[in-house]
């Protein structure tokens, strides 16, 4: 198969677009040259061809992990190899995690902290061992600072209701980012309505990152009690300068909660060095099972917080009219926990550590730069977030003029490519970012990568994307 080498230019009556892509087929170029109902025909100039051998010799590292580690990625969709570009929604699971879950249910299944028998002891050891693995993974000072939750959403709600209801009063200010996931907005709205606290928002700068100048102005009020923002945006892909956020907030007497769902799986995170007060993440985005997440909190804050839920295991003694509560972490973990899921998360952490988070980050940075560069060659595309790829994680949310993101995702699925479409649980953000035609955007397509993805998959994605755009144009999407 022959590929078009860069550069070549597509010209029409209304568009003049540089289109630089080493992964476009000659057939794809020919399709772009057709009028597709446009006002005038495309003219393609300066096009040369690369052979398959030349293309595969482009300088790029070998795949980081063996695809055989991830059984689900071995399948085909509609007769085409699965290309999974939706890891920001949930990651796939390595054999080590699947085997840990299976082994627990085959050999160790019992309740934890409640029995003197062998199975209960083994289950408790596995459960608490997972907590210790997670503690080391995020650099927490003690295991008591790691609270297991169902997911990051529950972890944020735990802080909002346990810390927020106890500490917020009318007129206090909560600073959120307009880029936050709904899980980091709605709980604070509910708590603000009950306490009289006021919500303030960090807007975006001209690079579509959190505008830290706005944060500085908001902190000047002297009323801010907590700043809650993401480490990596699940839509814009930027890596937030959380060290600066935390330093400024602490100087103003405010606490900081970091949503690390899109950072903990991909880049090194050390909560002690970061000095955040709270940090949350979901296990299913970091190669672990669904139904398990965690809250990290500074110990004095967690000790001061009343229980979020009441029930078994979180108590010390129960009397008719009152109860006393267990010490951390159990005070904030009511009822039978997600034991097998925690064990699976522990196995996921061990898997990530066996590769090295620095190694994963370095590899994904190369994937990110390549993906962004290839998407940038598409005519009439808007890629959201900063243009500086060094400030980006390995995800790109984009919109192609005249094509609905859901239509694009559906057609790509026929090509075996899995991406996300919609507002990605970030409606506020989508109301604040503009499309290439100046219209307000209420959705985007998102391709998000992980360590198991490859350059070759990006190449195949680009070919599939070209065919999908061509099909939608022929179908009258424009």
Distance CA 175, CA 246 (A): 12
Distance CA 315, CA 123 (A): 20
> Do the beta carbons of residue 141 and residue 129 sit within 8 Å?
no
What b/e readout covers 405-433, taking b as 16+ CB neighbours within 10 angstroms?
bebbbebbbebbbbbbbbbbbbebbbebb
- 290 Cβ partners below 8 Å, 6+ apart? 90, 151, 283, 284, 341
**Backbone φ and ψ of 258, nearest 5°:** -110, 125
Distances (CA, A) of 431 to 178, 204, 423, 442, 448: 10, 12, 10, 6, 21
> What is the distance of C-alpha 394 from the center of its chain?
9
Distance CA 328, CA 313 (A): 11
Length of the chain equals: 478
**Token code pair at residue 410:** 């559906």
> What is the full DSSP assignment across 284-336?
GGTTS-SS-EEEEE-HHHHHHSPPSS-SSSSEEEE-SS-EEEPPTTGGG--SS
Residues pairing with 434 in the sheet: 440
Distance CA 300, CA 113 (A): 24
> Do the beta carbons of residue 153 and residue 182 sit within 8 Å?
no
The beta-strand segments (E) located in 55-141 are 76-77, 80-81, 83-84
Distance CA 392, CA 365 (A): 8
> Do the beta carbons of residue 28 and residue 467 sit within 8 Å?
yes
Element housing 52 (H / E): helix 52-56
Q: Is 425 a catalytic residue?
A: yes
> Do the beta carbons of residue 306 and residue 334 sit within 8 Å?
no
Residues that are catalytic: 425
């Amino acid at each position: 198969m022959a590929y078009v080498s860069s550069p070549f230019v597509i010209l029409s009556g209304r568009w003049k677009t540089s289109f630089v892509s080493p992964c476009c087929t000659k057939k794809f170029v020919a399709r772009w040259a057709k009028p597709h109902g446009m006002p005038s025909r495309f003219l393609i100039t300066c096009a040369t061809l690369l052979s398959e051998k030349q293309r595969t010799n482009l300088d790029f590292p070998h795949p980081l992990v063996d695809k055989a580690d991830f059984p689900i990625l071995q399948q085909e969709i509609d007769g085409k190899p699965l290309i999974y570009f939706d890891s920001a929604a949930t990651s796939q699971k390595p054999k080590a995690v699947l085997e840990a879950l299976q082994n627990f249910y085959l050999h160790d299944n019992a309740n934890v902290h409640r029995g003197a028998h062998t199975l209960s002891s083994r289950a408790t050891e596995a459960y608490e061992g997972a907590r210790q693995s997670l503690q080391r993974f995020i650099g927490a000072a003690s295991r008591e600072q790691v609270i297991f939750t169902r997911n990051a959403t529950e972890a944020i709600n735990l802080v909002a209701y346990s810390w927020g209801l106890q500490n917020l009063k009318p007129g206090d200010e909560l600073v959120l980012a307009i880029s936050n996931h709904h899980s980091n907005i709605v709980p604070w709205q509910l708590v603000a309505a009950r306490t009289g606290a006021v919500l303030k928002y960090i807007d975006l700068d001209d690079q579509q990152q959190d505008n830290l100048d706005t944060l500085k102005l908001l902190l000047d009020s002297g009323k801010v009690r907590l700043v809650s923002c993401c480490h990596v945006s699940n839509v814009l892909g930027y890596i937030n300068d959380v060290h600066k956020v935390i330093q400024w907030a602490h100087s103003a007497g405010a606490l900081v909660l970091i949503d690390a769902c899109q950072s903990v799986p991909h880049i090194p995170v050390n909560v002690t060095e970061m000095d955040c007060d709270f940090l949350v993440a979901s296990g299913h985005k970091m190669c672990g099972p669904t139904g398990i997440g965690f809250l990290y909190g500074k110990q004095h804050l967690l000790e001061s917080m009343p229980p979020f839920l009441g029930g078994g295991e979180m108590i010390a003694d129960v009397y008719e009219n009152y109860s006393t509560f267990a010490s951390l972490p159990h005070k904030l973990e009511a009822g039978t926990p997600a034991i097998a899921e925690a064990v699976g998360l522990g196995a996921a952490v061990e898997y990530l550590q066996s590769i090295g988070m620095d190694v994963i980050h370095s590899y994904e940075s190369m994937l990110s730069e390549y993906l962004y560069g290839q998407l940038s060659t598409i005519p009439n595309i808007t890629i959201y977030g900063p243009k500086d790829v060094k400030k980006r994680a390995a995800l790109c949310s984009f919109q192609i003029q005249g094509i609905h993101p859901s239509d694009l995702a559906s057609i790509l699925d026929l090509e075996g490519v899995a991406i996300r479409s919609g507002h990605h649980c970030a409606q506020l953000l989508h109301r604040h970012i503009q499309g290439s035609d100046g219209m307000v955007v209420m959705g985007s397509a998102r391709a998000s990568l992980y360590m198991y993805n490859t350059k070759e998959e990006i190449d195949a994605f680009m070919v599939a994307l070209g065919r999908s755009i061509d099909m939608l144009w022929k179908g009258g999407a424009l």
